[in-house]
Amino acid sequence: MFLSGLEMEHAITKKVIGAMPEDKTALKPHEKSMSAIDLAWHIASSEVWFLDGIAEGKFAAEEGTRPAGMDSFAKILDWYGAEYAAQLAKVKALSGEKLVQPIDFYGMLNLPAVAYLSLLNNHSIHHRGQFSVYLRLAGAKVPSIYGGSADEPFQPAS
């Protein structure tokens, strides 16, 4: 149930990140906000990090900073597509027994592995919503996410 939903969300996230013009990497709506490129990296890398933690049965320390080579939205999307697919395949291969095994989350949570799929999804939706605001501020078109947008209206099937 979770995995098919995550695959749908992944496609939407790639569409949203891909809508950002490459010349807007430094865009920040507020001084406390992440830059657009850092937010895109955070979304992509955290999804891969969550999947890896679920597959491995433990969460490694998160890097936190964008690697030097990830300096464009296109590069992030290439990395995200490949790494997400690899980690998702590992999660899909887990047994039911492994999916119900609790995983410690830095002493704050200790949930069954499968529960972190929901946390991954909620975290990504939250930041993808932020990123859609960045798109509007960049003058880019906001793609449909769960229905139409002002730039990509809902089109019922014919």
Query: What does the pLDDT look like over 82-93, one tens digit per residue?
Result: 999 999 999 999
The residues spanned by each domain of the chain are 2-137
Span 2-137 CATH architecture: Up-down Bundle (1.20)
Rounded CA separation 38/66 (Å): 7
Q: Two tokens at 82?
A: 């490949």
Element (H, E) at 103: strand 102-105
Q: Classify 57 in phi/psi space as left (phi over 0), alpha (psi -120 to 50) or beta.
A: left
Q: pLDDT band for position 62 (50/70/90)?
A: confident
Name the phi and psi angles at 38, rounded to 5.
-70, -35
Q: Two tokens at 29?
A: 């709506």
Res. 3: pLDDT tops 80:
yes
The pTM of this model reads 0.95
Enumerate the H helices of the chain as residue ranges: 2-18, 36-56, 73-92, 96-99, 115-137
